[in-house]
């Protein structure tokens, strides 16, 4: 990475309405993921592994859990001015909340003015991926552009789900057009069946970022959004470069997970991302020690698997079981269990995601479900077996058949 002063901004102020009820009591970036992690850990780990040492997390909605996680997990103060700091909406420009991601930066410009960085890396807080931002920063500096947008190749059939980048035909490193969820996207010159989708990660020259959000803040017809307003403004002036994730080489990556990136903004995508973790050769590999995903290190005993009181031995297949969990004669298959879960004799958890301190009683069944923290499934009760019964009890059931039980709920027969 070039010897310039780099500052990181993690945008973590979104409500996460599409992840309800998992976001009923916490910000989306604070939602648990993969057993022992929070969603924000992936963005912060990528920045730290890339060499950034001054990072702020801009928060807004239901931020207590997120603020606590950042303060307890990401304490790197004292290392030559290094820090990861949670910064709530400060209402410096009046009695108002952030009205968009660009407005969040506008209202936090004091952070940039204090640190005076040369380069600012702006990332979202709710994507699961690995990326070496040092390589992207070097590419940005070499491009001479005011902003560089990270992009990942996706099938052209999915173009209407993303912000799509069309490269300049005269210079494929520059963005010719930036289209929001187009239905008539054009394939890439070197791969007609693919498009470049914006990852929501940006590298800016600091002075041009400050100028851009100040100008955007004066507009009455703007949504004050980084992807919807700021980037298109740079594109219109021919000052936006694109960085294809295919150029990025993360240490320890495998061919299977090298270019993995998933937006976990819906219940179904959140569930699918967990299924990507559990195979013998995972689509996303949590066990890459060359580029670790950092999180809070719990003071917990190892997970324990024992026979039940009748001598019955349970089975655990293709699953992740976190620290502190105790499985007694239970069957777990293709599932992810968070810390301190307890599963009693004859219980079954299949194709499911279970958060911290959930209790599955004797003979209970959980199938294709997500259970939030402190959920109790009583003896013989079921979740995800009868969708009509699940809906009648007030649980969310997605069109694909994923049942979600909110935090602290008790499920009886």
- Bind-site residues for alpha-D-glucose 1-phosphate: 163, 180-181, 198
Residue 55 backbone dihedrals phi, psi, to 5 degrees: -135, 135
Contact 151, 203 (CB under 8 A): no
Residues marked as binding? 163, 180-181, 198
**Which residues, including other chains, have CB under 8 Å from residue 361's CB and lie 6 or more apart?**
344, 347, 376, 377, 378, 379, 380, 381
Report d(CA 247, CA 249) in Å as an integer. 7
User: Which H/E stretch holds residue 163?
Assistant: strand 163-168
- Beta-strand ranges (E) seen in 68-145 are 83-88, 119-124, 127-129
Report d(CA 14, CA 62) in Å as an integer. 10
**Which residues, including other chains, have CB under 8 Å from residue 162's CB and lie 6 or more apart?**
154, 181, 195, 197, 198
Residues belonging to the chain: 413
Report d(CA 151, CA 130) in Å as an integer. 13
Report d(CA 386, CA 393) in Å as an integer. 11
User: Which H/E stretch holds residue 389?
Assistant: helix 387-392
Residues of 221-255 as b/e, b for ≥16 C-beta within 10 angstroms? Answer: ebebbbbbbbbbbbbeeebbbbbbbeebebeebee
Contact 280, 256 (CB under 8 A): no
Residues of 34-67 as b/e, b for ≥16 C-beta within 10 angstroms? Answer: bbbbbbbbbbbbbbbbbebbbbbbbbbbbbebbb
Compute how many other C-beta atoms are within 10 angstroms of the C-beta atom of residue 177: 15
Q: Checking DSSP bridges between strand 147-155 and strand 37-38, what pairing results, if any? A: unpaired
Report d(CA 39, CA 26) in Å as an integer. 12
């Amino acid at each position: 990475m070039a010897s310039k002063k780099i500052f990181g901004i993690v945008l973590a102020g979104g409500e996460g309405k599409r992840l309800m009820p998992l976001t009923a009591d916490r910000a989306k970036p604070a939602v648990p993921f993969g057993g022992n992690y929070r969603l924000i850990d992936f963005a912060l780990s990528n920045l730290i592994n890339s060499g950034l040492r001054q990072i702020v997390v801009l928060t807004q909605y239901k931020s207590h859990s997120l603020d606590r996680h950042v303060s307890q997990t990401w304490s790197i103060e004292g290392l030559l001015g290094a820090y990861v700091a949670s910064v709530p909406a400060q209402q410096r420009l009046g009695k108002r909340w952030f009205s968009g991601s660009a407005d969040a930066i506008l209202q936090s410009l004091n952070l940039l003015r204090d640190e005076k960085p040369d380069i600012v890396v702006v990332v979202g807080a709710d994507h699961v991926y690995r990326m070496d931002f040092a390589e992207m920063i070097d590419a940005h500096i070499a491009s001479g552009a005011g902003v560089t947008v990270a992009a990942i190749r996706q099938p052209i059939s999915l173009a209407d789900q993303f912000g799509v980048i069309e490269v300049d035909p005269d210079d494929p490193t520059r963005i010719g057009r930036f289209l929001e969820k187009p239905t008539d996207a054009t394939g890439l010159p070197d791969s007609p069946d693919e498009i470049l989708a914006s990852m929501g990660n940006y590298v800016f020259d600091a002075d041009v970022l400050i100028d851009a959000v100040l100008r955007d803040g004066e507009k009455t017809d703007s949504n004050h959004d980084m992807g919807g307003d700021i980037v298109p403004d740079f594109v219109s002036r021919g000052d936006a470069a694109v960085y294809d994730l295919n150029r990025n080489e993360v240490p320890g990556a495998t061919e299977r997970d090298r270019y993995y990136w998933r937006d976990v903004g819906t219940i179904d995508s959140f569930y699918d991302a967990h299924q990507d973790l559990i195979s013998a050769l995972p689509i996303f590999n949590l066990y890459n020690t060359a580029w670790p995903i950092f999180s809070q290190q719990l003071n917990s005993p190892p997970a324990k698997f024992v026979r039940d009181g009748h001598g019955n031995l349970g089975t655990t297949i293709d699953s992740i079981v976190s620290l502190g969990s105790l499985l007694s004669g239970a069957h777990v298959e293709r599932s992810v269990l968070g810390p301190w879960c307890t599963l009693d004799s004859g219980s079954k958890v299949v194709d499911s995601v279970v958060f911290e301190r959930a209790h599955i009683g004797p003979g209970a069944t959980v199938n294709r479900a997500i259970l939030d923290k402190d959920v109790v499934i009583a003896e013989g009760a079921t979740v995800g077996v009868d969708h009509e019964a699940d809906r009648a009890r007030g649980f969310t059931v997605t069109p694909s058949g994923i049942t979600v039980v909110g935090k602290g709920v008790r499920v009886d027969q």
